[in-house]
Amino acid sequence: MAKVTITGVFKNTENKGVDIEVYAPNPNGYTFRNFYSTSFTKVFDDVLPGKTYFVDMAGHATGGGTFEIVIDGDVESVVSKSYKDLFIPGLKFKVK
């Protein structure tokens, strides 16, 4: 098993939240989902090497505030993105 960490940080706002789903299709399907109303760090220590995982996000950060997400650990390349206002993007990462 490999280990991947997802860190989400809200900045410069008190109106914020993000619904995150991490998934991978069958076979060896994977799914994780949670709603965060504040900054968080989530460690995934049950991901499979060589597999690609998708991250669906639906969140908000008002007034020029931002939500900054970093996916690192046993990944082929670190993912780092910043979002504002209302956002529903998707990310993906491949485990080394």
Q: Does 23 bind another protein (CB under 8 A)?
A: yes
Write the CA distances from 92 to 11, 13, 22, 63, integer angstroms: 23, 26, 9, 27
Least distance between another protein and beta carbon 62 (Å)? 5
91 beta partners: 55
The closest of 39, 45, 43 to 13, measured between CA atoms, is 39
Binding status of residue 58 toward another protein by CB under 8 A: yes
For another protein, the closer of residues 2 and 70 by Cβ is 70
Does residue number 41 form part of the binding site for another protein (CB under 8 A)?
Answer: no
82 is a site residue for another protein (CB under 8 A): yes
